[in-house]
Amino acid sequence: ETGVTQTPRHLVMGMTNKKSLKCEQHLGHNAMYWYKQSAKKPLELMFVYSLEERVENNSVPSRFSPECPNSSHLFLHLHTLQPEDSALYLCASSQGVNRHDGVLFFGSGTQLSVL
C-alpha cells in the first residue's frame, strides 16, 4: 500500500445527487492533491492543498468542492454532476508542493460513474 487511502473505491450517482470522496494519508506529508483521470487522457490536476491551504484550483467547475480539514485528510464534495464527469478520481500526497525532487504518492482512486 502507498499510505494513501481513498473511499469509496466505486461510486455511481445520479446528476442530482450529492456525494463526497474521502482521502487520508498516513505518510506525514504536508501537501495533498486531487487529480482526474479520464480514459485515454493524461491526468488532470484539479486542486492542490499545502498545509491545509488551497494553493491551486485549475479552473475546475464549482460542482466540485474540495475541503482539507487537516494535513492528513482531503475531501471532494460532488453535486449536480454531469455524465462527462465520470472518471477515476485520484488523491495524492507529497512532502512539500512542487519540490524539484518531489514524488507523488497516489491512492487507488474512486471510480465515479454519473448516470
Partner 1 sequence: KNQVEQSPQSLIILEGKNCTLQCNYTVSPFSNLRWYKQDTGRGPVSLTIMTFSENTKSNGRYTATLDADTKQSSLHITASQLSDSASYICVVRGNNAGNMLTFGGGTRLMVKP
Map grid coordinates 484539479 to a residue.
Answer: 46
Q: Which of 16, 53, 100, 114 binds partner 1 (CB under 8 A)?
A: 100
**Residue 11 sits in the site that holds partner 1 (CB under 8 A):** no
**Residue 59 sits in the site that holds partner 1 (CB under 8 A):** no
**Minimal distance, residue 80 CB to partner 1, in Å:** 27
x/- track of binding to partner 1 for residues 39-58 (CB under 8 A): -xxxx-x-------------
Angle at 114 between CA 105 and CA 66, to 5 degrees: 45
Query: Contact 22/75 with Cβ under 8 angstroms?
Result: yes
DSSP string, 24-38: EE-S--SEEEEEEE-
Closest C-alpha among 107, 97, 74, 111 to residue 6: 107
CB atoms within 10 A of CB 79: 15
**Minimal distance, residue 111 CB to partner 1, in Å:** 8
Stretch that binds partner 1, among 14-22, 64-72, 75-83, 102-110 (CB under 8 A): 102-110
Chain residues binding partner 1 by CB under 8 A are 2, 4, 40-43, 45, 90-92, 98-104, 106-109
